[in-house]
Every structure is written in C-alpha cells, then in structure tokens.
C-alpha cells in the first residue's frame, strides 16, 4: 500500500516527501544521540550544583554558629575568671607572698595599714579513690593582721567577697584600742590552693 502511495505521487512530491522523512530521521537521531544526553548531563550538573549550594549553606550556618559558640566560650571564660583568680598558687614557694600580692591593694584601699601575712596549717581536701589526680589541691589558711577601723574591716570583707568569691573567712578578731581608727584586726582567710604534683 505504501509503495502504491509513493508510486501515485508526482516525482517532485515524492522527492519532497522522502526529504522530509530523512530530516525527521536525522532530527530524531540528533535528539537521541546529542540533545537527550546533553539534557541528562545538564540535569545531573543542576543536581550537583544544588548539592554544592546546600553544602555552602551548611558551611555558612556552621561558620555563623562557630562565631556564636566562640562568643559563649569567651563569656564563660570571663565569668570563670574571678574563680580562677581566687585559687592560691605559691609565689616563690610561699602562699603568703601570693596572698599579699592579691590582697595588698584591696586592704590598703579599704583603709587598713600595718599589714602582715602568715601561713596557718594547711587542710588537705579529700581525694577520690582509687583514682589519684595529677594536681593536688588543698585549703590554705592565711592570717592577715592589720590596723584600722571596724568600718575599714567590713569594707575589705565586702570587696573580698566580690573580687575573690572562693576565699572564705575562717575567723575575725578585733583587739580594742583607745583610738577606734587604729584597732588591731586579724583575719584568717581560707583559700582553695594548688598543692604539689603526684607521680602520675
């Protein structure tokens, strides 16, 4: 039937028809051999690009989050600073010298004079068993004697509580003198202190 259809056509029409069929065939071949693979590759590249964009977005979020975490760490370190400052570490082998370095300014600004510092017996902190920490800690008692008024002593203790919150007052004595501005005052301050190192 097809052959009858072609035979009935005029030569020019037959030629045009065959050319059209050829173009359709070539077009189909080009689509399946070139266009379709290119579209598939383009789709794959789009998918890869989308994945990279998602990764970049995640990286940006992580960077932003890292900045937030860093800020929180800095805030935490700042809040811990007074507690770290309160730990007594020997200065030239002497706890009383370190106590003097930390207290001298606070005492004098409170109005206390004739300052003297001596070490009282240490009180060891309980250690966990059977694990022995490498760094030992203890409670160091430092006796501070001074001259000044009762108000100056209270002023010193209030500032001490604010600036060195881990230091506790073990005892407080005042020896009465004729001049109320020059009472003999004795504080025994107990500090968390770093001790020696173990063999571990």
Dump pLDDT digits (tens) for 140-154. Answer: 889 999 999 999 999
Residue 116 makes CB contacts below 8 A (sequence gap 6+) with: 144, 145, 146
Q: Whole-model pTM? A: 0.54
Q: What is the pLDDT of residues 4-16, one digit of tens each?
A: 555 566 666 666 6
For residues 42-71, give the mean pLDDT: 76
The domain locations on the chain are 2-81, 95-197
Q: What is the model's pLDDT at position 198? A: 41
pLDDT in tens, 175-191: 888 888 889 999 999 88
Question: Between the ranges 46-50, 98-102, 126-130, where is the mean pLDDT highest?
Answer: 98-102
The CATH code that applies to domain 95-197 is 3.30.70.60
Give ∠ CA 12-15-16 in degrees, rounded to 5: 85
pLDDT at 200: 41
Res. 158 pLDDT band, cuts 50 70 90: very high
- Over residues 76-127, the pLDDT tens digits come to 777 766 666 667 777 787 888 888 988 999 999 999 999 999 988 876 656 5
93: left (phi over 0), alpha (psi -120 to 50) or beta: left
The DSSP H or E segment spanning 118 is: strand 113-119
């Amino acid at each position: 039937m097809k052959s009858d259809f072609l035979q009935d056509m005029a030569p020019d029409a037959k030629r045009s028809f065959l050319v059209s069929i050829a173009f359709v065939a070539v077009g189909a071949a080009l689509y399946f051999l070139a266009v379709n693979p290119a579209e598939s590759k383009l789709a794959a590249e789009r998918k890869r690009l989308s994945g990279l964009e998602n990764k970049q977005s995640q990286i940006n979020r992580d960077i932003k989050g890292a900045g937030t975490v860093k800020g929180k760490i800095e805030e935490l370190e700042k809040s811990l600073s007074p507690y770290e400052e309160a730990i007594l570490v020997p200065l030239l082998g002497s706890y009383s010298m370190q106590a003097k370095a930390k207290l001298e300014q606070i005492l004098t600004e409170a109005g206390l004079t004739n300052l003297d510092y001596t070490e009282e017996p240490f009180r060891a902190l309980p250690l966990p068993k059977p694990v022995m920490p490498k760094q030992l800690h203890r409670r160091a008692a430092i006796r501070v004697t001074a001259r000044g008024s009762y108000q100056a002593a209270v002023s010193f203790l209030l500032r001490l509580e604010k600036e060195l919150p881990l230091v506790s007052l073990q005892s407080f004595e005042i020896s009465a003198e004729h001049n109320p501005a020059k009472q003999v005052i004795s504080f025994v301050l107990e500090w968390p202190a770093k001790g020696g190192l173990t063999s571990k």
